[in-house]
Amino acid sequence: MTDHECTRFLQWCLPELRFRWTGFRRVRKQVCKRLGRRVAELGLDDLDAYRVFLESHDEEWRVLDSMCRVTITRFYRDRAVWDLLCADVLPGLARRAASPGEMEVRCWSAGCGSGEEAYTLRIAWLLGTVPATGVDFPIHIVATDSNPKLFDRARRGIYKQGSLRFLPVEWVETAFEETTEGYRLRDTFTEDIDFVEQDIRENMPDGVFDLVLCRNLVFTYFDEPLQKELLDRIASRIAAGGTLVVGAHEQLPGPAHDFEALKNNQSIWQKKTENRR
């Protein structure tokens, strides 16, 4: 399979799945490798034959959809975004948490992959926000993804050194212990995180959240009409004054009427409209 053949196939099939080609252009090799394995597994000659197979086997579209899930992640990914979260957003959540009637800070990591983002958030809270603000308040994180196989790695909490390279050194030393398998998270940093299998197109976690991280998923890979549908649903799950974080290279679809950019950072948006718990 050549790159041209794979590109041509993706440009045909992605719109059928409500994906957009521009989101896959730079990461297509991961998907192309999976397609090559699937074509061989089915005993087909090439992608043209696979296209014919898809047109006569409706159930295969779900397999194709699963092959289009891109899994690229690491701790503290997009450092500038995390720096602003740690300097501004998380301390703000801590101060709000001290208000009467609040029970916990609730966060949602959408498309969490193998857990790096959710764990980064908990590490940042315990080692950055709590010492800086003096507000020792519980944080609960719901981490969702449509690929349950990634949860095995997430629940083990063991990662290669390369995955940690953007974390502050002192955080690595405090949050991890080095083992023969890799760097293992200490128990304190794995508590109060629920890993839930959900496809964001079909289901979202219940309740309202103070912080939602939806990065490099909805606003990269899905077509614009679906982005708008999902943004409305995501917004309904963010508390008044809560925060939505998207990828460093993503844009919200259309006018962001419910949100305003934090310090003109187009990755961090604060919700303006009221939404009571």
Averaged pLDDT, 263-273: 88
**Would you place residue 101 in the very low, low, confident or very high pLDDT band (cuts 50, 70, 90)?**
low
| 95 against 184, higher pLDDT | 184
Q: What share of the chain has pLDDT > 70, as a percent?
A: 97
Tell me, what's the pLDDT at 273? 63
pLDDT greater than 70 at residue 163 = yes
Averaged pLDDT, 231-256: 92
Tell me, what's the pLDDT at 191? 95
| 103 against 164, higher pLDDT | 164
Averaged pLDDT, 123-141: 94
**Would you place residue 80 in the very low, low, confident or very high pLDDT band (cuts 50, 70, 90)?**
very high
Whole-structure pTM value:
0.92
Query: For residue 70, which phi and psi values (nearest 5 degrees)?
Result: -85, 130
Query: For residue 160, which phi and psi values (nearest 5 degrees)?
Result: -75, 155
pLDDT greater than 70 at residue 275 = no
Tell me, what's the pLDDT at 276? 43
Tell me, what's the pLDDT at 149? 85
Instruction: Give the Cα separation of 96 and 118 in Å (integer).
Output: 21
Kindly report, residue by residue over 205-243, the tens digit of the pLDDT: 999 999 999 999 999 999 999 999 999 999 999 999 999
Mean pLDDT, the chain, whole residue set: 93
Query: Which domains occur in the chain, in start order?
Result: 3-67 (no CATH), 79-271 (3.40.50.150)
**Would you place residue 253 in the very low, low, confident or very high pLDDT band (cuts 50, 70, 90)?**
very high
The sign of the CA dihedral 38, 42, 44, 50 is negative
Averaged pLDDT, 110-135: 95
Instruction: Give the Cα separation of 194 and 206 in Å (integer).
Output: 13
Asked if residues 44 and 50 have their Cβ atoms less than 8 Å apart, the reply is yes
Averaged pLDDT, 19-47: 95
pLDDT greater than 70 at residue 154 = yes
* Strand (E) or helix (H) holding 231: helix 224-235
